[in-house]
Amino acid sequence: MLKNKMNLKRINFFFILLLFFSFPYKASAKSVPESFADLAEKLMPSVVNISTTQTVITRNNPFTFQFPPGSPFEEMFKDFGTPQKRKSTSLGSGFIIDSKGIIITNNHVIKGAEDIVVRVSNNKEYKAKVVGSDPFSDLAVLKIISKEKFVPVKFGNSDKARIGDWVMAIGNPFGLGGTVTTGIISARNREIGLSRYEDYIQTDASINQGNSGGPLFDMNGNVVGINTAILGQSGSIGIGFAIPSNSAKIVIDQLIKFGETKRGWLGVKIQDVTKKIAEEKKLDEPRGALVVSVSEGSPSSKAGIKEGDIILEFNGVLIKEMKTLPKIVAQTQVGKTVNVKIWRNKKIISKKIKLGRLETSES
């Protein structure tokens, strides 16, 4: 009998222990949505399909034969043909952020376009014009040429978007407008070598050609990313990339206000600090950005930054990796005086630098 009571107490103890460890998990875990239909229905009117037209000039071959690929004669005689003009069209996506018809998309969607037509969810088409574009971040702002009112969406805080969070993409893949796909955030801070300032959100929501410029929504219906690239050219393989809304919004606000971007500029060329370099410089660990050269007359030159310095901190932000510095500098207001900490001669030195503007500089 005593043995049975002890066993019963032991069972109760493990049951309580099980409940103790179960509750925190259930409290923090998010359930899988039963349906995305309500959210999709709410957001669809704010997503547009974009089609562009541009004139492409080609030359037909005046000869009755073809030169072998790579032949020097191919380059020599390429201008002998009769110029032929043809219209080229491309498709993309975008989303409305203002009731007056302000649209966000990718720069590569509208680059070189002579005519831009947007179609909203009710299949009504409108002409649009470019307000401003930025090839460095691959972003563009358009304005619908109409006095009608449109349904806008809001930007969310992409810094709070976590790996594993549910997301929804809406766009115009392969010209099939109004397509909704869902997935999760697969990774953060991805760099794939497409643009100068990269900090992509990776997602497994299906993204294909034509999705470019379309929104990536969180489950509150806020835009946390702008779908920009896919891995490979064969279509969705569960790896798509989106520009985070927080970094995109800085560029977008400037394009709307000025029609162009105004990025901060230091005027230095930098490289990674390797373990070997850190040892040579007597730095505790590989960190920061090594200054390879300083542009003459640049803000850094005027502040006394020298080749061989290691930038450890910029405007209060620690530079753990070289790639961090250009992003932070670009997002800092032109003309602002910032404190920069560098490593020189085995000690930390502080410098005050008044930032220039990248686009008006030569390097």
Active site residues: 108, 138, 212
Q: Facing residues of 170 across strands?
A: 180
User: Radius of gyration of the chain from Cα atoms?
Assistant: 27
CA dist., res. 222 & res. 356, Å (int): 34
Which two structure tokens, joined as six digits, stand for 275?
A: 């373990």
DSSP 155: B
Find out whether 265 and 250 touch, Cβ atoms under 8 Å: no
Collapsing DSSP to helix, strand or coil, 108 comes out as helix
Which two structure tokens, joined as six digits, stand for 209?
A: 């050609």
φ/ψ bin of 259: left (φ > 0), alpha (ψ from -120 to 50), beta (otherwise): left
Which two structure tokens, joined as six digits, stand for 229?
A: 């690239």
CA dist., res. 337 & res. 361, Å (int): 18
Find out whether 129 and 168 touch, Cβ atoms under 8 Å: no
Going by their DSSP bridges, the two strands 347-354 and 356-357 should be labelled as unpaired
Which two structure tokens, joined as six digits, stand for 49?
A: 């399909």
Helix, strand, coil shares of the chain, percent, nearest 5, are 25, 35, 40
Which two structure tokens, joined as six digits, stand for 33?
A: 């949505």
First-to-last alpha carbon distance for the chain, in angstroms, is 87
Using the structure block, give the residue that is written with the tokens 């809001």. Answer: 154
CA dist., res. 60 & res. 259, Å (int): 39
The string over 109-143, giving b where at least 16 C-beta atoms fall within 10 Å of a residue's C-beta and e elsewhere, is: bbeebeebbbbbbeeeebebebbbbbeebbbbbbb
DSSP H or E stretch at residue 144: strand 139-144
